[in-house]
Chain A
Amino acid sequence: MNDSTLVQLGLLIPLLALVGIQLTARHANLREAVSIIAGTALFAVVASMYGPVIEGKEIAVHWLDVLPGMALAFRIEPLGLLFALVASFLWIVTTLYAIGYMRGHGEENQTRFFSLFALSIASVMGIAFAENLFTLFVFYELLTLCTYPLVTHAGTDKARRGGRVYLSVLLGTSIGFFLLAIIATWLLAGTLSFKPGGVFAPGTSAALLSVLLVLYVFGVGKAAIMPFHRWLPAAMVAPTPVSALLHAVAVVKAGVFVLLKVCLMIFGLETLRSIPATEWLLYLAGVSILLASIIALRQQNLKKRLAYSTVSQLGYITLGALLATSAGATGSALHIVMHAFGKITLFFCAGAILVAAHKTEIGELRGIGRQMPVTMTAFLVASLCIIGIPPTGGTWSKWYLMLGTFEAQQWILMALLMASSLLSIAYLLPIPLRAFFGGNSANGFDSEPSLLAEQGEAVAIREAPLPSLIALGITAIGCIYLLLYPDVFYLLIKAGI
Chain B
Amino acid sequence: MLSHLPILQVILPLVAAPSCLIIRRATLVWLFTLGVCLAALAVSALLLQQVYTTGPISYALGGWDAPWGIEYRIDLLNAWVLLIVSGLSSAVIAAAHSSIARELAAGRQMLFYTLYLLCFAGLLGIVATGDVFNVFVFLEISSLSSYALLALGRDRRALWASFQYLIMGTIGATFILIGIGFLYMMTGTLNMADLAARLPAVSGTTTVLAAFAFIFVGICLKLALFPMHLWLPNAYSYAPSIVTAFLAATATKVALYLLLRFTVTVFGVDFALASLPLELLLIGLGLAGVFAASAVAIYQVDIKRMFAYSSVAQVGYMVVGIGIGTATALQATLLHLFNHALMKGGLFLALAGLVYQVGGCRIDSFRGLGRTMPWTMAAIAIGGISLIGMPLTVGFVSKWYLVAAAIDAGLWWVAILVVLGSLLAVLYVWRLVEAGYLQSPPEALAMIRREAPLGLLLPTWLLIAANLYFGVDTRLPVAVTAAASQFLLGGAAP
Q: Which residues of A contact B (CB under 8 A)?
A: 64, 66-68, 72, 134, 137-138, 141-142, 145, 149, 152, 155, 159-160, 163-164, 167-168, 171-172, 175-176, 179-180, 183-184, 186-187
Contact = CB atoms under 8 A, between A and B. Distances in A.
25 contacts: A66-B392, A66-B397, A66-B471, A66-B473, A67-B474, A138-B391, A138-B392, A141-B390, A149-B437, A155-B439, A155-B440, A159-B438, A160-B434, A160-B438, A167-B430, A168-B427, A171-B426, A175-B388, A175-B423, A179-B419, A180-B403, A183-B404, A186-B404, A187-B404, A187-B408
A66 B419 contact: no
Given A155-B440, A176-B423, 7 more contacts: A66-B472, A66-B474, A138-B391, A138-B392, A163-B434, A171-B426, A183-B415
A335 B363 CA distance: 46
A29 B352 CA distance: 41
Interface in B391-412: 391-392, 397, 399-400, 403-404, 407-408
Nearest to A182: B400
B418 to A, nearest CB: 9
Contacts of A184: 407
A308 to B, nearest CB: 26
B397 A183 contact: no
Given A67-B397, A186-B404, A187-B407, A176 B419 contact: yes
Contacts of A159: 438
Contacts of B415: 180, 183
Interface of B: 385, 388-392, 397, 399-400, 403-404, 407-408, 415-416, 419-420, 422-423, 426-427, 430, 434, 437-440, 471-474, 478
Given A175-B389, A175-B423, A68 B403 contact: no
Contact of A168 (B389, B426, B472): B426
A133 to B, nearest CB: 11
A344 B382 CA distance: 33
Given A171-B423, A172-B423, A180-B403, A64 B390 contact: no
Nearest to B406: A183
Nearest to B440: A155
B313 to A, nearest CB: 15
A416 B425 CA distance: 41
B419 A180 contact: yes
Contacts of A64: 472-473
Contacts of B478: 67-68
B426 A180 contact: no
A396 to B, nearest CB: 36
Nearest to B433: A148
Nearest to A180: B419
Contacts of A180: 403, 407, 415-416, 419
Given A67-B400, A180-B403, A184-B407, A137 B391 contact: yes
Contacts of B419: 175-176, 179-180
B388, B423, B438 — which one has the most chain A CB atoms within 10 A of its CB?
B438
B197 to A, nearest CB: 35
B148 to A, nearest CB: 41
Contacts of A171: 388, 423, 426
A171 B434 CA distance: 15
A207 B75 CA distance: 44
Given A66-B472, A149-B437, A180-B415, A167 B391 contact: no
A428 to B, nearest CB: 34
Contacts of B438: 152, 155, 159-160, 163
A183 B391 contact: no
Contact of B403 (A72, A152, A155, A179): A179
A145 B403 contact: no
A167 B474 CA distance: 28
Contacts of A155: 438-440
Contacts of B400: 67, 183
Nearest to B426: A171
B206 to A, nearest CB: 41
A302 B403 CA distance: 43
Contact of B420 (A72, A141, A149, A176): A176
Q: Nearest 8 CB-CB pairs, A to B?
A: A138-B391, A183-B403, A183-B404, A171-B426, A155-B438, A141-B390, A160-B438, A176-B419
Contacts of B422: 175
Contacts of B416: 180
A142 to B, nearest CB: 8
A215 to B, nearest CB: 10
B424 to A, nearest CB: 11
Nearest to B402: A183
A145 B390 contact: yes
A68 B407 CA distance: 18
A134 B408 CA distance: 18
A107 to B, nearest CB: 15
A134 B403 CA distance: 15
